[in-house]
Amino acid sequence: MRQSTVRVNLSGKTAVITGGGRGIGKTIAEYFADAGAAVVVAARSAEEIANTAQAIISQGGEAFAVKADVTVNGSVEALFREAEKRYGGVDIVVVNAGGSTLINNLEACEPEAWKNIIDGNLLSVFYTARAAIPCLKKRGGGKIIVTGSGAGFHVIKKASAYSCAKAGLHAIVKTLAEELVSDNISVNEIIPGPVNTGLFHAAQKAGDTYDPDGEWFKEPCEVAQLALYLTSFPDNGPSGQTFSLRRRPLF
């Protein structure tokens, strides 16, 4: 487990991380655990999250794997019940599950496939935030960190569903920041840009060769350090903000 250059003390905190079985989510889970947090790792693949949890435990950290499908409301609610039962509460939520390899013009998209991407990247954020908020309120505050995309600001050709979902995700972040300001719950979005993950390479294989000149092609650990840095702020700190690791303007 690679150690972060960002030093944050999360001892006594519990973090729930969706999409924690691989890539960015797995690395965020490892970094949070290294900072002292008890980490609840969630994803649809029981094997992947078990591997993440075991990797953390083998390094002396605290982790618990919960199989959950973030596109199913009941599954997400069960995830947070398990987190509270195991650790007594939740302080930090990283809404990271998502992704897309569907590359086609809108006219040629199959409706069900288009809807599946909306479900996985937008409806899942609604379900996760809705289930997380009561847990955070019980703690008197907390943090929600959402993994967004530059596609929510600059549409990607042949990725209409993904772009629409990520634009909606950005709107959810802004809305929640306003709604939760008096509850000491901060809600922020991180924009990784291109990252060396299996999902990125799968998208390229499917025909998405979008690779702007001069862009920073980074490793998951560099995104994890940004997520960890955001946990260092007070719960009543920055909220409704977008933190980007791209080398190009978002706006």
Query: By three-state DSSP, how is residue 249 classified?
Result: coil
Output DSSP code: residue 181: G
Q: 242, 191 in Cβ contact below 8 A?
A: yes
* Domains of the chain, residue spans: 14-244
Q: Give the CA distances from residue 151 to residues 69, 123, 158, 162, 163, in Å, rounded to whole numbers and listed in that order.
A: 23, 17, 11, 7, 5
Which CATH architecture best describes the domain 14-244?
A: 3-Layer(aba) Sandwich (3.40)
* Alpha-helical regions (H) of 66-138: 73-87, 111-118, 124-138
More confident residue, 41 or 213: 41
Sign of CA dihedral 227, 185, 238, 178: positive
Mean pLDDT to the nearest integer, 59-73: 97
Catalytic-residue membership of 162:
yes
Closest CA to 100 of 10, 189, 164, 34: 164
Unique residue bearing structure tokens 């907390």: 142
Three-class SS state of 119? helix
Query: How large is the average pLDDT for residues 127-148?
Result: 98
Q: Which of 87, 162, 210, 229 is catalytic?
A: 162
Residue pLDDT, tens place only, 152-188:
998 888 899 999 999 999 999 999 999 999 999 999 9
Segment holding 175, helix H or strand E: helix 160-179
**Of residues 14, 81, 26, the one with CA closest to residue 55:** 26
Tokens found for residue 201: 């390479």
Which pLDDT score is estimated for 103?
77
pLDDT score for 200: 56
What rounded mean pLDDT belongs to the chain? 91
Prediction pTM value: 0.91
- Residue 194 has a pLDDT of 82
pLDDT in tens, 100-125: 767 789 999 999 999 999 999 999 99
Residue 202 scores a pLDDT above 60:
no
